[in-house]
Amino acid sequence: MDRNQSHRQVATMKQSLFDQGYLDHEQFNQLEELQDDANPNFVEEVVTLYYRDSARLVHSIEQALEKSPIDFNKLDSYMHQFRGSSSSIGAKKVKAECSLFREYCRAGNGEGCMRTFQQVKKEYAALRKKLETFFQLARQAGPVDRARRPK
């Protein structure tokens, strides 16, 4: 596969992630603007950091949901952080489920929280898989020629 074709594939996959609502294009583009030849994997590094940091929060939320009675304030606080981090990488569906979770939290609805958290985890995992594929494609395609090089 030639380079142009590889880059087109990357662009197509990225667009489909936007179109399917997995990623917020504005936020993701802002991260991509910080990527260049000197930092060719910047976006992947940020996303890796997100999944590493948020794993801790996911675990804390799981533990908090197992307690009886549920401390909804604590849960809300964890989810606020998780929602914030998710929005930083443009994780649109994850963020939406987090917002729904917080509504159940504020209503003191434990069952609603547990149900929604399953959805949060599902979207979180789905996005991770999609992004892993995307970054693999992007690395294979190599950096985009941003500047015109004289022949």
Partner 1 sequence: MHKMMLTRLDIEVEVAANGKAAVDLHLAGASFHLILMDLQMPLMDGSQATKELRGMGVASPIVGVTAACDGGPEKTAFLASGLTDCVSKPLTISKIATYLPAPKNPYNN
Binding positions for partner 1, rule: CB under 8 A: 26-27, 30-31, 33-34, 39, 42, 45-46, 49-50, 53, 77, 80-81, 83-85, 87-90
**Which CB, 146 or 151, lies closer to partner 1?**
146
**Which CB, 10 or 47, lies closer to partner 1?**
47
Question: CB–CB of 58/106 below 8 Å?
Answer: no
**Which CB, 49 or 125, lies closer to partner 1?**
49
> Residue 22 CB, nearest distance to partner 1 (Å)?
15
> Residue 39 CB, nearest distance to partner 1 (Å)?
6
> Residue 107 CB, nearest distance to partner 1 (Å)?
19
Q: How far apart are CA 117 and CA 94, in angstroms?
A: 10
**Which CB, 99 or 133, lies closer to partner 1?**
99
> Residue 87 CB, nearest distance to partner 1 (Å)?
4
